[in-house]
Structure 1
Amino acid sequence: MKKNRSFDVVIIGGSYAGLSAAMALGRSLKNVVVLDSGTPCNAATPHSHNFLTQDGKPPAEIAALGRHQVAHYKTVQLRTDPATDAAASNGQFTVTTRSGDQFQSRKLIFATGIKDLLPAIDGIAECWGKSVIHCPYCHGYEYRNHKTGILANGAAALHLAVLVRNLTSSLAVFTNGPLQFTKEEQQRLQQRGIAIVPKEIRALQQAEGQLQQVVFTDGTAIPLQALYARVPFEQQTPLPAMLGCAFTEQGHIQVDAFQKTTVPGVYACGDAASPMRSVASAVAGGNLAGAMANHDLSQEDFSRGPGEM
């Protein structure tokens, strides 16, 4: 091992949630190291929206400013060196990185994000984050009054349809296979002018990530400019599971109202722990996780006698 250092908190993940947690801790003079992979899950997205004071800025620009501001706090170290292992023993955590460095800490924060598992449809990866989008709050305004589709089925499709219908009158649901709606749900969609297309999708025709039409396996096609897609995901890292953290039915790290996981001393924030996928939500969750870690550390230190510090 190259180095072995002790910190109050190790933060795994240095995007918006991780940086926000680091700022809260740095402002409380806690010794922190942030370990980042340098591969945020929204890297393909050209602009971030619905974040007060940052609306319309490129995500990379927001993250770069965040790193610059967090670096101001001298008790915080930022490292592009992803964590590859984590272990807990006697109230302490040991995190090992790809380079072989080891870091010990009293608290651990996961801000590691998720990995989207895109369906095997030609063109979808090129459009992802640009014209194939996941959130009407993050991207819907820019595609208002456009020809829009929803790539989902059942309850997920109905949930999106309720939200997206407010943004465009040209809306269709693409189930990419057999319908998973009740008769009542089908009627609700059709009565509101929302077509349901069960055909299997072969490809998305696009130019530089901008969707042009959906092409089906039967050779037919429908012009489209935007497509909301609910795709499955997995955690970016297996480390929370290795430490014994519980997960929700949807696959997020289970946390309480204070971003605490089911493992004492471990917190989680951002997309890894919340279905509210936005930069604003990640920053808010990270700020709370950092504040709670600081609270617990400070409470522990205050409870010790002078000779125990």
Structure 2
Amino acid sequence: MHFKGRVRTVSSMTSHHHHSAPEPWRSLPEGFAERLELEAELSIPVRAAALEYAARALGAAPAAIVDLGSGTGADAVALAEYFPTAAVHAVDVSAELLARVAAKASAVGVTDRIHTHRVDLNDDWTAETPRGIDLAWASLSLHHLNDPAEALRRVFASLHPGGVFVLTEMMGDESFESGVAGGDDSSAADQRHHGQAVHGRHREHDWAQLLADAGFVSLQRHVHDMVARGDTATGIRYLEMLQHAGLPDDPTEEVATNEGGPDELTSGASDAAFRSGRVVWTAVRPSRESLETRDTDVAVIGGGPAGLAAAIALARSRRNVVLVDAGEPRNAPAEGAHNVLGNEGIAPLELIARGRAEAESYGVQIVSGRVSRVSGQIDDFTVEVGEGAQRIRARRVILATGLVDDLPDVPGVAAGWGSTVLHCPFCHGWEVRDQRIAILARQDVPLHQAMLFRQLSDRVTLFLHEASVPTAEQWEQLAALKVDVVTSRVRRLRMEHTRVRAVEMEDGSLFDADAVVVSPRFNVRTELYEMLGGIAGEGMFGAEIPVDPRGQTAVSGVWVAGNAGQPMAMVVASSASGMMTGAAVHGDLALSELNAAVSQRALESADQRAAESADSRGI
């Protein structure tokens, strides 16, 4: 993973605005937002480390993230870019700052995954954000609240069991330093006093104790510095802003009068520096203890439309269900899901979020994590999550693990996948109608795609790339379709964020394009099925799990829903598959229970008859 974004800081010039109630940031002090933007740049190393800590603690890709006190939006954007399948909910009380969040999201093409909520953090912000989130993030936004302990309790309640909280706060004194040769140590020591005057309140909080009191475990503490140096452009602007702030007892006066004064700041020759300590906490909401030992009726592995639909069907029949989700929905990069009756164009992550909320409303327990092993037999399966960190015992198992798209190894394809690089005319064809459509062939001539996309646009070009030369019949068919053909190899796609702009050939020539169609190759996830003794079959697109129409496999007690058994199923078909499989598993359990009840009744009747016979004989 790569780090992009920021950690928002609120330092000396502004922190004293944090202490009154209600939240004062509805109307921002002059220059405040600009200062946050500078601090965002200066805090890149701290943010990068915090993102890495979050990823380590999570173990699996998060589906839902809440950024509490999102400021100008650099944290929210960084989270969206670092976790490319997650929906990020940015919470702030300032409309001006939330507008900056939206602008940043638009600039990098993640508008569909960043949702803004204007809420005072002193109020119950959980009423405005999703429940059961995977990652909560708060950077320098909790220490000024009226009741930080209550805020932490709200964070805890909003997280899924196993969810992670990353908290960044200030620590230690802020200091202005000069590296001028010959300067004595006392001058730097004299300058280490400002932080206590204006940042004293945050040091009153014992975050370790507050986090533990809220119920968090696995606390980890990391110490960093935010540093503004007088020899960098951003550092100069930040130090100048401190100088011009005119705060009482402001040691920037010393910066302006020592050998690193304003002239040297302007020229970039100053070795003055401002240093502010940061502490990054990672904490985990513990997983339900019951999941370690408790039997459940059904373990559903996979939290996409099929898995959620199966879980809901079972839960509505009063079955105990645990659903394990690694948070990697296949269609997460897409801007919208189509052909979803009544929900046309819904963002895939929003669809998943609604499904999760619906499942939980019926009592489904959702565990965030990756299944590392599954074993056992009917009525006694064991599902291990996170290398055995959690174990779930289940009577039946539903595999809704989907498939992985095998994309052509052409630069630009992955970046545009799900946006302007697509494969299905029914899923995304309408959105590229009448546009310049490039079809990128692989081994075979994709005549089928040419035919279907030609129905949507009269500007379709086939790039043979790796494909063999068309037969005479295929040339005639392509000519009849009025599809242009380019026979040379493709070097790369010219992209603008996720948008295709052109197809570049190996000889350097360019062909303008608005969308690129690739030939589909699917890899069904068969590993867990094979762990249970199943044998994968070979389908049109590669390995697949053989199932009957209800999703039952050859392994007794193991069922499959969605793309794991039907690689061509779209969202609605996957949901329908999940519902049918869930109903079938409930029926299988009900029949098993009925047979057991009949056997028990017969046994009890036999015992009663034996007792009556003994009584009649006077035994």
TM-score by length of 2: 0.48
| Counterpart residue type for residue 466 of structure 2 | G
| Contact 1:177-1:198 within 8 A present in 2 as well | no
Task: From 82, 91, 101, give the equivalent of 2:370.
Answer: 82
SS in 2 for 1:71: helix
Task: From 203, 225, 249, give the equivalent of 2:492.
Answer: 203
- List gaps (5 residues or longer) in structure 1: none
Distance 1:245 1:138 in 2: 31
Q: Which residue of 1 aligns with 2:519?
A: 230
SS in 2 for 1:305: helix
| Contact 1:174-1:197 within 8 A present in 2 as well | yes
| Contact 2:325-2:370 within 8 A present in 1 as well | yes
Q: Which residue of 2 aligns with 1:247?
A: 537
Q: Which residue of 1 aligns with 2:299?
A: 10
Q: Which residue of 1 aligns with 2:74?
A: none
State yes or no: 1:256 paired with 2:256.
no
| Contact 1:154-1:181 within 8 A present in 2 as well | no
> 1:90-105 maps to which residues of 2 (within 5 A)?
91-98=379-386, 100-105=389-394
Q: Which residue of 1 aligns with 2:559?
A: 267
Task: From 67, 87, 97, give the equivalent of 2:356.
Answer: 67
Aligned in 2, Cα 1:270/1:166: closer, same or farther, shift over 3 Å? Answer: same
- Of the two structures, which has the highest relative contact order with CA contacts closer than 8 Å and spacing of 6 or more? 1
| Counterpart residue type for residue 322 of structure 2 | V
Distance 1:156 1:11 in 2: 39
**Aligned-residue offset at 1:277:** 4.2
Aligned in 2, Cα 1:245/1:107: closer, same or farther, shift over 3 Å? Answer: farther
| Counterpart residue type for residue 58 of structure 1 | A
| Contact 1:153-1:180 within 8 A present in 2 as well | no
Aligned in 2, Cα 1:239/1:70: closer, same or farther, shift over 3 Å? Answer: same
| Contact 2:305-2:574 within 8 A present in 1 as well | yes
Distance 1:90 1:292 in 2: 15
**Aligned-residue offset at 1:216:** 0.9
| Contact 2:377-2:556 within 8 A present in 1 as well | no
Which deviations, in whole Å up to 9, do the C-alpha atoms of 1:123-164 show, x marking residues without a partner? 111100000012111110011111112223566712212221
> 1:123-162 maps to which residues of 2 (within 5 A)?
123-153=412-442, 157-162=446-451
Q: Which residue of 1 aligns with 2:476?
A: 187
**Aligned-residue offset at 1:182:** 3.0
| Counterpart residue type for residue 512 of structure 2 | P
Question: Runs of 4 or more off by more than 4 Å in structure 1?
Answer: 153-156, 306-309
Distance 1:6 1:64 in 2: 26
- State how many pairs are aligned: 308
SS in 2 for 1:3: helix
**Aligned-residue offset at 1:111:** 0.7
State yes or no: 1:58 paired with 2:384.
no
| Counterpart residue type for residue 6 of structure 1 | D
| Contact 2:311-2:321 within 8 A present in 1 as well | yes
Which deviations, in whole Å up to 9, do the C-alpha atoms of 1:211-265 show, x marking residues without a partner? 1111011111211111111243323462122221432323222211111122222
* Structure with the higher helix share, 1 or 2: 2
SS in 2 for 1:296: helix
Q: Which residue of 1 aligns with 2:572?
A: 280
Distance 2:513 2:428 in 1: 16
**Aligned-residue offset at 1:17:** 0.8
Distance 2:409 2:439 in 1: 16
Distance 1:259 1:94 in 2: 20
- List gaps (5 residues or longer) in structure 2: 1-290, 602-619
| Counterpart residue type for residue 66 of structure 1 | G
Distance 1:131 1:90 in 2: 45
Q: Which residue of 1 aligns with 2:461?
A: 172
| Contact 1:179-1:198 within 8 A present in 2 as well | no
| Contact 2:421-2:500 within 8 A present in 1 as well | yes
Distance 1:180 1:303 in 2: 62
| Counterpart residue type for residue 189 of structure 1 | L
State yes or no: 1:119 paired with 2:415.
no
Which deviations, in whole Å up to 9, do the C-alpha atoms of 1:164-223 show, x marking residues without a partner? 121111112222124264321221112211123232111100112111111011111211
Identity, % of aligned pairs?
A: 34
| Contact 1:156-1:230 within 8 A present in 2 as well | no
SS in 1 for 2:294: strand
Aligned in 2, Cα 1:92/1:219: closer, same or farther, shift over 3 Å? Answer: same
| Counterpart residue type for residue 292 of structure 1 | A
Distance 2:464 2:295 in 1: 51
**Aligned-residue offset at 1:306:** 5.1
Aligned in 2, Cα 1:181/1:293: closer, same or farther, shift over 3 Å? Answer: farther
| Counterpart residue type for residue 104 of structure 1 | R
State yes or no: 1:30 paired with 2:319.
yes
Distance 1:300 1:259 in 2: 18
TM-score by length of 1: 0.93
